[in-house]
Structure 1
Amino acid sequence: MTAPIPDDPASLARASGAAMYARDEASKAMGAVLADIGPGFATMTMTVRRDMLNGYGTCHGGTLFALADSAFAFACNSHNEAAVAAGCSIEFLRAGREGDRLTATAVERARSGKSGIYDVTVSNAAGEVLALFRGKSLKVGGSVIGTERV
């Protein structure tokens, strides 16, 4: 028997986030944790490990992208409507270092029809912005968690 789906948007976002995170092996492998989620936003945190460094000894850009992309995914699925990335871009502004505690905060900017636009800021513990990411989501039908409503 499936648990009933919450009616209020904040509880629905938390339930959707928990369901997604339970299945998200990529985020877990990076050590990314879903720190906060609500309707149209999500925050993920991660510590830069030695195996995430590039040839210059700084955090690999692909790692920053992956963290931002994960936060984007949780934000655009927070309404319990299955969505995937239709496109995204990133601007790298500052290097991350081994041991840095990174935070990626995704915010919904627009949502209409099957599309959504989300901005993600990746920063370190000092509040310095390392990267700015913009993602476009596409609803693919279905839901993150079941379809039964409370």
Structure 2
Amino acid sequence: MNDIKKELQGFRLKPIQVLDEYSIVDVQPGKVVMETTVKNDSLNPYQMAHGGYHFTLADSVAGLTVYSLGYYAVTLQSNINYMKAAKLGDCLTISGKCQHDGRTTKVIDVLIQNQDAESIIKASFTMFVTREVGSKKN
């Protein structure tokens, strides 16, 4: 066990860069589409896009989708399915769509696809509304 502990301590995990380069390509009430490219700083040790990278993209688009409806929100619950690996240079499209527009919660489905329109990630987020955009309440 000490050998494994020593080996893991020598294994240097690197920071994951996620939201440094992206563009919003479509916004409608209850729908947001973002694009980004997988860069070296987004890769795990196996040279595939890190799962945390995908989750952060999906969670961010879910929050922006709620914002497109005029509200601020925080993630209350999430579910994510990793279906295919993304690799260095892949162009990803992250689409969020509101499936439930309640007073206190919003349910957002997020789909991440690569440049070949292959589904990489499918996720669902239940977002808890904290306040309206423009409200001075903290």
* TM-score, normalised by the number of residues in structure 1: 0.74
The structure number with the bigger radius of gyration is: 2
How many residue pairs were aligned?
120
Give the Cα separation in 1 of the matches to 2:18 and 2:60: 7
More helix by share: 1
Inter-CA distance 27–48: structure 2 relative to 1 (3 Å threshold): closer
Query: Aligned-pair RMSD on alpha carbons?
Result: 1.7
Deviation at 1:77, TM superposition (A): 1.2
Give the Cα separation in 2 of the matches to 1:70 and 1:85: 10
Q: Using CA pairs below 8 Å that are at least 6 residues apart, which structure has the higher relative contact order?
A: 1
- Aligned match of 1:99: 89
Give the Cα separation in 2 of the matches to 1:57 and 1:64: 14
> Percent identity of the aligned residues?
26
Deviation at 1:131, TM superposition (A): 0.5
What are the residue-to-residue correspondences of 1:109-128 with 2, within 5 Å?
A: 109-128=99-118
* TM-score, normalised by the number of residues in structure 2: 0.81
What are the residue-to-residue correspondences of 1:1-150 with 2, within 5 Å?
A: 28-29=19-20, 31-143=21-133, 145=134
Q: Which runs of 5+ in 2 are unaligned?
A: 1-16
Deviation at 1:114, TM superposition (A): 0.3
